[in-house]
A and B are shown apart, each in its own frame.
Chain A
Amino acid sequence: MMEVCIRINNLTVEFGKYTVLKNINLSINDQEFLAIIGPNGGGKTTLIKAILGLIEPKEGNVLIFGKKPTELTFKDIGYVPQIKTLDRNFPAKVYELVATGLTGNWNFRYTKEMRREVREVLAFCGMEHLEHRPINKLSGGELQRVFLARSIIRRPRVLLLDEPATGIDTVAETDFSLLLETLQYQNQTTIVMVTHDWEYAFHHSTSVLLLNKSVVAFGSPKEVFSEENIQKTFGHFGHDHKMEFIIKKNV
């Protein structure tokens, strides 16, 4: 039987008077690829932050391999944030940013061993030619891959990604998706990804969570993607052709 990687028990998160997540109960198995889908304000990012231990829940808890997030070492979790929230004008080169994944700190000096590891992971992400490029000279897609390199250089057991495809073009998005698949295949990492790409979630994830403050549906993509569940999550079916296509395909 597969080991449980992330267990979320009765998780409720409130910001002041507002309930952002209500009574979430989930078990995510080791080596699973979970896609989290939901409307804006549905609590997707909050759930990721609760798993990371950045948010103190009002009730309930999150356990990763049986430990609280705060009890884990920095190497256990890899995190790819939304790049739109990052300061692109920070004076830094690609290798410096990637090396933070190795040491969990910004570095002043770089050993040969660090440089080698950085080059290796950049090569895996197809970015070795950008090692010395300042981060403000990268495109959105390149920066996203640099962040992926930064998070996988530590070989984490769990990889959390918060809308990694936001702000990047379709080609870059496809490249990034292929990279994630290779990563999961080679390293057997558990991946939890917030995404708006339903088609990608349908084809590539092993399970899908439809979230709108509470769990609407959780299971395999085939079980989850139904017209009823989508209506429950988003309040309406909308006119998303991609979604219609997926539902038809699913049926």
Chain B
Amino acid sequence: MFDILQHNFALNALLAGVVVGFLGGFYGSFVVQRRMSFLGDGLAHVAFGGVALGLLLQFEPFWVAVPFTILVAIALTYLKERTTLEIDTAIGIFFAVSVALGVLFISLNKKYISDAFSYLFGSILLVSKEDLLFSFAFGTLTIILATFYWKRWTYSSFDMELAKVDKINVSFDNYLLSILTALSIVLSVKLVGIFLVASYLVIPSATAKLISKTFSQMTILGIVLGIVSSEIGILFSILLDLPTGAAIILLQSIIFLVALFLQKFTNKQ
């Protein structure tokens, strides 16, 4: 099994898995607690529009998807804060428009259909050294920001009004959290795929919530589950020649079901 590590692509994927697992677990805690699971799905499909545009323009799709997704994340936060439009309606609209644009861009340049498919379903072969470097840089930034913002994001996830009364700039924090969540989604797309990346934000944190008594426990457990499931899922996908994203998400789902069963069982007792 350790022979795998001699291959650069496997090592890259495993290292990327650590960062992506960490990001999914960390940002997922807030996404799950704020009942915004649909946001992850919406932003992932927005990223698809960006990736397709990148493929059409023959730019690195990641660098087109990043501003594209961040802009939509900002727009969604603005609509949520400043209008009476329901957030799931707004996400639904951006989701549909982005997929429509993505399909349109791909149909304009059929040469890149196979590349587009790799982004849709994820592939460990797509993870390059540059991606890895960027992932680690973003992971480090997240750790630095977490030391200051975890407290504030947690407080406003509990109750925005109480956080505002205690002089926390909830609006700024919400924009920052949306932008960073969007970035973590785009970073995870290569490994897990657009279809499954939202689950990365939801399943480890939802599992952690089932067995945690405090939000700090939920955050730490979400991160641990994100990283462990990524590593085991990637190894499985290489050894058994399975699609990476599917292997990771199915593993996460199994862990979720076990946690759900344990929670029900312990509650009954």
Contact = CB atoms under 8 A, between A and B. Distances in A.
Contacts of A73: 167
Contact of A105 (B155, B212, B213, B215): B155
Interface of B is mostly: helix
B158 A104 contact: no
Contact of B213 (A97, A107, A134): A134
B214 A91 contact: yes
Interface in A93-131: 93, 96-97, 100, 104-108
Interface in B198-235: 209, 212-218
Contact of B151 (A77, A93, A105): A105
Of A92, A104, A106, the most chain B CB neighbours within 10 A belong to A106
Task: Determine the interface band of chain A, counting residues with CB < 8 A from chain B.
Answer: 20 to 34
B62 to A, nearest CB: 33
Contact of A87 (B150, B158, B212): B158
Nearest to A150: B162
Interface residues of B, number: 24
Contacts of A96: 214-215
B159 A86 contact: yes
A18 interface: no
Interface in B151-175: 151-152, 154-155, 157-159, 161-162, 164-168
Contact of B166 (A74, A85, A86): A74
A90 B162 contact: no
A93 B213 CA distance: 7
A105 B165 contact: no
Interface in A36-89: 52-54, 73-74, 77, 79, 81, 85-87
Contacts of B212: 91
B118 interface: no
A81 B162 contact: yes
Contact of A77 (B161, B165, B218): B165
A120 to B, nearest CB: 20
Nearest to B147: A108
Contacts of B152: 105-106
A55 to B, nearest CB: 10
A104 B167 contact: yes
B158 A74 contact: no
Interface of A is mostly: loop
B158 A93 contact: no
A100 B213 contact: no
Contacts of B165: 52-54, 74, 77, 79
Interface in B26-61: 33
B169 to A, nearest CB: 11
Given A105-B151, A107-B151, A54 B214 contact: no
Nearest to B34: A87
A54 B158 contact: no
B225 to A, nearest CB: 15
A105 B168 contact: yes
A108 B220 CA distance: 11
A93 B168 contact: no
Given A100-B155, A105-B151, A107-B151, A91 B166 contact: no
A53 B167 CA distance: 10
A107 B164 CA distance: 16
Contacts of B157: 90
Contact of A91 (B155, B164, B168, B209): B209
Contacts of B158: 87, 90, 92, 97, 100, 106
Contact of A90 (B150, B151, B164, B215): B215
Interface of A: 52-54, 73-74, 77, 79, 81, 85-87, 90-93, 96-97, 100, 104-108, 134
Given A106-B155, A108-B150, 5 more contacts: A74-B167, A91-B213, A91-B214, A100-B155, A105-B155
27 contacts: A54-B165, A73-B167, A74-B166, A77-B165, A79-B165, A81-B159, A81-B162, A85-B161, A86-B159, A90-B33, A90-B158, A91-B209, A91-B212, A91-B215, A91-B217, A92-B215, A93-B214, A96-B215, A97-B158, A100-B155, A104-B167, A104-B168, A105-B151, A105-B168, A106-B151, A106-B155, A106-B215
